[in-house]
Amino acid sequence: MTQTPRDSFDLQRLQQRLAGLKLGQPLYYFETIDSTNQFLRALPPNQIQPGALALADHQTKGRGRFHRRWCDTPGRSLLFSVLLEASRPASLWPLLTLGAAVSVCRALEREEIARPQIRWPNDVMIDERKVCGILAEKTSAPKVLVLGVGLNVHQRIEDFPSPLRRSAGSLQLAAERPWSRENLLVAFLADFETFYRQWRDEQDATILHECRRRMSTLGRQVYIHGHGCRAEGIVMDLDDDGSLVLREPTGIVSRRHSGEVEEIAWETKNKCEGSRLKDE
């Protein structure tokens, strides 16, 4: 395994860079923690302050959607969570997740990463590999949520568990050059602060427009599964609340508010259809 890159956080400098932003104050930093999301969620109600940022070099119990474990190697990922005041209905919270995905993409575009894409509802992809996951969760305080981001930065293929080596990616794999987690964090927060303000001001169309431009599955045939349900169809659009608009093989147009999206490769679909014809 290659040596961990020297990409440490200068906390004093970081706080100075975040001083002009509403997100990132106060700053909690941990070399190792179970989960930055869980830390912010566990704060007593009188200590929950919108804008608070929890940042870690390593998480021992990082989580993704459906309670999946998020694996990281110490010092190789950008791992953080931020508290957000969420005065609008919970049905519109997914727009914040999509806005965060757009901000990750825009931060990467500024670093000359070509065409990072969003896999609905919460992943960022580069060259068909997942480099970032985003998880929004409720807190103990009403109308306050925590938004967690995990971005793979310095990983090599050997840093990923064997089952993930064909699907997981990192910025280092996409562009082999020095990367600064601090620069990426500041770029994300500065960009996302704009989306957060637009969401609070009910300017949802801007978020949806930017997300549609980067969606990897728009117009493609997919499977959606999760919560015991499974559907197949062509992704037509995003609805106003961020749900996926799907045209199923029967012609029915449905809306999916959650689930795992899996694209259907043409060769896979043809093979499946050929098998059905043979069986018939």
CB-based contacts of 273, cutoff 8 Å, min separation 6 = none
In terms of domains, do 208 and 226 share one? no
Out of 16-20, 44-48, 130-134, 150-154, least confident range: 44-48
End-of-domain residue from the set 182, 214, 246: 214
Mean pLDDT of the chain: 88
At residue 186 the predicted structure's pLDDT band, cuts being 50, 70 and 90, is very high
Contact 145, 139 (CB under 8 A): yes
End-of-domain residue from the set 214, 239, 265: 214
End-of-domain residue from the set 188, 214, 240: 214
Compute CA distances 65 → 3, 127, 148, 200, 274, whole Å: 30, 22, 11, 24, 34
- 130 burial via Cβ count (<10 Å: 0-12, 13-18, 19+): middle
Peptide bond into 50 cis (omega under 30): no
Out of 10-19, 59-68, 81-90, 245-254, least confident range: 59-68
In terms of domains, do 36 and 55 share one? yes
- Domain encompassing residue 89: 11-214
**pLDDT tens digit string along 49-108?**
999 999 999 999 766 544 556 667 889 999 999 999 999 999 999 999 999 999 999 999
In terms of domains, do 154 and 188 share one? yes
Q: How many domains does the chain have?
A: 2
Residue 4 covered by a domain: no
pTM exceeding 0.95: no
Compute CA distances 3 → 76, 158, 173, 184, whole Å: 10, 12, 15, 21
Q: Which residue in 38, 226, 34, 33 sits closest to 138, CA to CA?
A: 38
* Residue 271 in this model has a pLDDT that exceeds 50: no
**pLDDT tens digit string along 190-223?**
999 999 999 999 999 999 999 999 999 999 999 9
In terms of domains, do 110 and 142 share one? yes
In terms of domains, do 75 and 189 share one? yes
Residue 1 covered by a domain: no
